[in-house]
Amino acid sequence: MRQTVALIGAAGKMGSRCTDNLIKEDYKLLLCEKSEAGLKKIQEKGLKTAPTEEAVPVADIIIMAVPDVLLSSIAEKMVPILKSDATVIMLDPAVAYVGGIPMRVDVTYVVTHPCHPPLFREQETPEARKDRFGGVAAIQDIVIALIEGSEENFKKAREVCCKMFSPVDKCHRITLEQMAILEPALSELIGCTAATILREAVDVAVDHGVPKEAAESFMLGHINIALAIAFGAVDADFSDAAKVAVNIGKDWVFKSDWKKVFKPEMVCKAIYFMLHPERGKK
């Protein structure tokens, strides 16, 4: 039987990508969007929208492509009107991890997230090589977790997730707790922070008189090989001098207790401030 899929936030950053892939599949797709700009964006694609309050009660699968800061309040209104045996798919673990989603015993809850195209994977086409985010042409993996509900509905949700992030190679099944370790701890608190430090370091080099183009080329080239060595993508090792520099850098640049960000209480604390940015960081 053809499944009905409601996509909430269909014109958003993630929602737009999901829309572009799911319209190619054999689903009855109900696109839900509130903003005027979003509605116009969908109409410009030649697609129709459906009111959320009408789409949600009839949907077999509901995809929550909305910002984390809005997810809890939207879910509070949406969950009570879900039909029995429906499946809710969230695209980020944060809100569910801290208990911000109303739960029903007759509803299946799933969370998924793209891994994004890996740095050292050989993509086959120029279009794929330009697809840094994934979901257009570049092959990527995804992660998925069953929070609560039936295995049968989880399998159906998995199929939807692979299609909306297509092309997908591997779909890694993990737990909600493990996904929260991956994001925000691993990818954002560590990965994104490290990326911004690298960017800022280039700016500092420029402030010290190095031409910007030379500084960027030098950093990006060295980071490419450094990551390849660190992750075993090449059969090589850091030079003896580089190993000394790494030890010095860890002492000068990073806090000695940085690994504490992976502790559950720190993950919860980070999520709290991410969901309440107006309250600042502690």
Residue-wise pLDDT for 125-144, tens only, equals 999 999 999 999 999 999 99
Looking at residue 281, its pLDDT comes to 59
For strands 87-90 and 108-114, give the pairing: parallel
CA distance 118 to 233: 11
The identity of residue 11, as a single letter, is: A
pLDDT, tens digit, 9 for 90 and up, residues 21-45: 999 999 999 999 999 999 999 999 9
Three-state DSSP state, 79: helix
Phi first, then psi: what are they for 13, rounded to 5°?
A: -60, -55
Contacts of 276 (CB under 8 A, 6+ apart): none
Looking at residue 282, its pLDDT comes to 53
The enclosing H or E element of 88 equals: strand 87-90
Handedness of CA 86, 90, 93, 98 (dihedral sign): negative
Average pLDDT in the chain: 97
Give me the mean pLDDT over the 118-131 stretch. 97
Looking at residue 14, its pLDDT comes to 95
Looking at residue 279, its pLDDT comes to 80
Q: Is 14 exposed, middle or buried (0-12, 13-18, 19+ CB in 10 A)?
A: buried
Rounded to the nearest 10 degrees, the angle between the axes of helix 193-207 and helix 212-230 is 150
Contacts of 96 (CB under 8 A, 6+ apart): 90, 109, 111, 147, 176
What number of residues does the chain have?
Answer: 282
Q: Please determine, for residue 280, whether its predicted confidence score (pLDDT) is greater than 80.
A: no
The enclosing H or E element of 30 equals: strand 28-32
Contacts of 71 (CB under 8 A, 6+ apart): 64, 90, 92, 95, 100, 101
Looking at residue 173, its pLDDT comes to 99
